[in-house]
């Protein structure tokens, strides 16, 4: 019994439960504390390479956009050419968008547009289609069944060998993001309206949504949006707002895109140069 008592004392002083100690406890029925449970896995991180997603607008001078983007983009970056309201893809803008480094795609506002234009997009030499589904832009048949609309568009893109990017409005991402994620290759989070609320509000929303999206599809490539057309974070300039919002989420996001107008190209240029220097 003295030997057993000494053994028990030795076990209680051991800081970690080895396999031998665990077997001893089970063998003699001695009360031993449970080992620490495995810690919760951390939220999924972003990919190691960050990309810039260049928004190319057909109502802004094409040469100005090329001169801003091209010196600050590489093969890992991407471009999205936005169609006009009548589905117009001007040949000079197609050429300009495709001249930028990295792959390029075309952005539409309805699933039917994507079904009807997927082959044309492929034939023009693009590699992706984007569905910008928003309540103020998209038709009722898409807004009434968001997930089915995204699935329909993704299928049309994939049938042509194109990548598919979902770019729903913030409210649709909040409601349906995790249901959309399994069907898409890229997901773009429109969190720019939260810039006005401050950096923490922007960061918290993006982090929460990325965790949900990655849970639904772990290998999803996710970008975020900031905008020169939104207000500033309290106490910050517009440029610093865009920078700090971006910095706050690049631990989880894979890339960023800037929504802009046409009279704010100097802010866009400064941001693109900064992003290229810091994150690309």
pLDDT digits (tens, 9 = 90+) for 268-280: 999 999 999 999 8
Q: Are 128 and 20 contained in the same domain?
A: no
Owning domain of residue 120: 51-278
Q: What are phi and psi of 56, to 5 degrees?
A: -115, 115
* Cα–Cα distance for residue pair 128/156, rounded to 1 Å: 11
* Cα–Cα distance for residue pair 24/29, rounded to 1 Å: 8
CATH number at residue 95: 3.20.20.70
Question: Is the residue at 46 inside a domain?
Answer: no
Average pLDDT for 195-220: 98
Question: Is the residue at 43 inside a domain?
Answer: no
* Cα–Cα distance for residue pair 178/180, rounded to 1 Å: 6
* Cα–Cα distance for residue pair 51/275, rounded to 1 Å: 9
Which value, to the nearest 10 degrees, does the dihedral of the CA atoms of residues 156, 167, 175, 153 take?
Answer: -10
Q: Are 148 and 222 contained in the same domain?
A: yes
pTM, full prediction:
0.83
Q: Which candidate, 69, 65, 66, places its Cα nearest to that of 77?
A: 69
State how many domains the chain has.
2
**Residue 194 reports pLDDT greater than 50:** yes
Q: Are 30 and 124 contained in the same domain?
A: no
Question: Is the residue at 45 inside a domain?
Answer: no
Q: Are 193 and 69 contained in the same domain?
A: yes
Burial of 197 (0-12, 13-18, 19+ CB in 10 A): middle
Residue 130 belongs to what H/E stretch?
strand 128-131
Q: What is the pLDDT of residue 44?
A: 54
pLDDT digits (tens, 9 = 90+) for 18-39: 334 334 444 444 444 444 444 4
Q: Are 33 and 55 contained in the same domain?
A: no
pLDDT digits (tens, 9 = 90+) for 102-134: 999 999 999 999 999 999 999 999 999 999 999
């Amino acid at each position: 019994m003295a030997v057993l008592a000494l053994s028990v004392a030795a076990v209680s002083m051991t800081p970690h439960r080895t396999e031998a100690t665990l077997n001893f406890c089970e063998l003699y029925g001695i009360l031993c504390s449970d080992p620490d449970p495995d810690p919760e896995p951390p939220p999924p991180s972003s990919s190691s390479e960050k990309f810039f997603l260049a928004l190319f607008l057909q109502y802004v001078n094409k040469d100005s956009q090329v001169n801003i983007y091209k010196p600050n983009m590489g093969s890992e970056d991407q471009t999205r050419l936005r169609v006009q309201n009548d589905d117009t893809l001007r040949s000079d803008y197609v050429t300009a968008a495709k001249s930028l480094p990295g792959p390029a795609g075309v952005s539409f506002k309805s699933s039917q547009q994507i079904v009807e234009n997927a082959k044309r997009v492929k034939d023009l030499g693009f590699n992706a289609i984007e569905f910008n589904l928003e309540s103020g832009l998209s038709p009722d048949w898409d807004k009434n069944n968001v997930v089915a609309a995204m699935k329909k568009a993704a299928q049309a893109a994939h049938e042509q060998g194109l990548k598919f990017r979902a770019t729903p409005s913030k409210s649709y991402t909040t409601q349906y993001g995790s249901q959309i994620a399994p069907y898409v290759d890229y997901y773009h989070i429109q969190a720019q309206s939260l810039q006005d609320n401050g950096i923490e509000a922007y960061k918290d929303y993006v982090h929460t949504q990325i965790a949900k999206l990655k849970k639904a599809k772990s290998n999803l490539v996710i970008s975020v949006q900031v905008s020169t057309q939104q207000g500033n974070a309290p106490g910050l300039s517009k440029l610093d707002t865009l920078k700090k919002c971006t910095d706050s989420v690049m631990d989880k996001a894979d890339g960023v895109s800037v929504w802009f107008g046409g009279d704010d190209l100097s802010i866009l240029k400064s941001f693109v140069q900064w992003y290229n220097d810091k994150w690309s």
